Amino acid sequence: MRGPPGRGRARPPGLESGAGILELLEGLLRRIVREEVASAAHPSDEWRDQSQSPILGPRRHCRAVRRRLAANPQDPGAKRVGDRFLLTPEAIAQELDRTGHKPDRQPAAPKPATPEDEALARVQRRLQKVK
């Protein structure tokens, strides 16, 4: 005999309540974030991505990275990590000299994002796609 109608499989221990499920999901989310952080290549503070390049702007910044890497894949001033286009401050200065653009003022220092913040943002974007 199977048991009372309407009852499904027995839940694993600790998952009888909604709180147990939430704890499991929280642990899983923390694990995903740790793995994202561990697997991602995080450049040092000496690199600026396209969102941190107000003088060049994101389009010119990305074009500069593509051009520099096409000319020399081992360029020490340019790097591409995922969807981030990275230049060193020296490379940005070289690009400004190359284009003849002189900045009027120094840009404000960008707010540093921690690797955990970036990984959490990627996970949140993925979760938004699932909804």
CB 32 within 8 A of CB 123: yes
Query: Does any domain span residue 83?
Result: yes
Query: Does any domain span residue 49?
Result: yes
Q: Note the pLDDT of residue 66.
A: 95
Q: Note the pLDDT of residue 4.
A: 54
Distance (Å, rounded) from C-alpha 73 to C-alpha 25?
Answer: 41
CB 55 within 8 A of CB 96: yes
Distance (Å, rounded) from C-alpha 31 to C-alpha 126?
Answer: 15
Query: Does any domain span residue 60?
Result: yes
Burial label, 13 (beta-carbon count in 10 A; 0-12, 13-18, 19+) = exposed
Mean pLDDT of 84-99: 90
Structural domains in the chain (count): 1
CB 121 within 8 A of CB 63: no
Query: Does any domain span residue 96?
Result: yes
Query: Does any domain span residue 12?
Result: no
| pTM > 0.85 | no
Q: Which domain holds residue 57?
A: 45-100
21-74 pLDDT, tens per residue? 778 888 888 888 777 665 555 555 688 888 887 788 899 999 999 999 999 999
Query: Does any domain span residue 74?
Result: yes
Query: Does any domain span residue 61?
Result: yes
Distance (Å, rounded) from C-alpha 45 to C-alpha 115?
Answer: 12
Query: Does any domain span residue 106?
Result: no
**H/E segment holding residue 86:** strand 84-87
